[in-house]
Chain A
Amino acid sequence: GAVVSQHPSRVICKSGTSVKIECRSLDFQATTMFWYRQFPKKSLMLMATSNEGSKATYEQGVEKDKFLINHASLTLSTLTVTSAHPEDSSFYICSVSHGNYEQYFGPGTRLTVT
């Protein structure tokens, strides 16, 4: 399967600041990446679909101005949480689309906003 990395694995930031999370596809070019959010002991919630070279598609209820997604290359997508607040604390997971119906997941990033 594909290898997907995320950086950082853990981040703590102060309320009101912004934080960027990187998702990299290490061994193939990914035209589509996905960003998920997961609360403790809950399922993955799709936030947005990131397409290389175009604007991301956000799921209903996800603020696009708060969760900025940039997919500038075929191997890198970034999620920036702007003006973070404690309620944004969560586990964020990216995945890359490989062929039809396949997704490979990154190891996740734990964000804590104090």
Chain B
Amino acid sequence: AQTVTQSQPEMSVQEAETVTLSCTYDTSESNYYLFWYKQPPSRQMILVIRQEAYKQQNATENRFSVNFQKAAKSFSLKISDSQLGDTAMYFCASVYTGNQFYFGTGTSLTVIP
């Protein structure tokens, strides 16, 4: 079974500071992708960042970056210079062949002004 674990149900960070959200996954597949999605109060799922498992280089998207540790099956998200608009639920997800996504339980992030 494919599982994704987010061990931090809630987190908070001061505006302009940096925060890291944790995610671990379990798979026996060799080819897969990992994602972080953001779900603000509007409930629209927004893709934050994507990592291909065969790429060793960590993905970055502006203030968002990941620390991908393939051997440890760890995929954490770092948000730098946190902004009030970053307040949302964050879901880690993995996908393998067949396009089925496996989501973690989510981390509720609050950015404090």
Q: Any chain A CB within 8 A of the CB of B91? A: yes
Q: Any chain A CB within 8 A of the CB of B59? A: no
| Cβ contact within 8 Å between B103 and A43 | yes
| Cβ contact within 8 Å between B95 and A43 | no
Chain B interface residue count, CB cutoff 8 Å, equals 19
> Which residues from chain B contact A91 at a C-beta distance below 8 Å?
43
Q: Which of A41, A44, A97, A104 contacts B103 (CB 8 A)?
A: A44
| Cβ contact within 8 Å between B43 and A108 | yes
Contact with B along A95-114 (1 / 0, CB 8 A): 10100111111011010000
Residue of A nearest to B106 (CB): A43
8 Å CB interface, B69-113 against A: 89, 91, 95, 99-101, 103-106, 108
| Cβ contact within 8 Å between B99 and A43 | no
> Which residues from chain A contact B62 at a C-beta distance below 8 Å?
none
Chain A positions within 8 Å of B, measured between CB atoms, are 1, 32, 34, 38, 41-44, 46, 49, 91, 93, 95, 97, 100-105, 107-108, 110
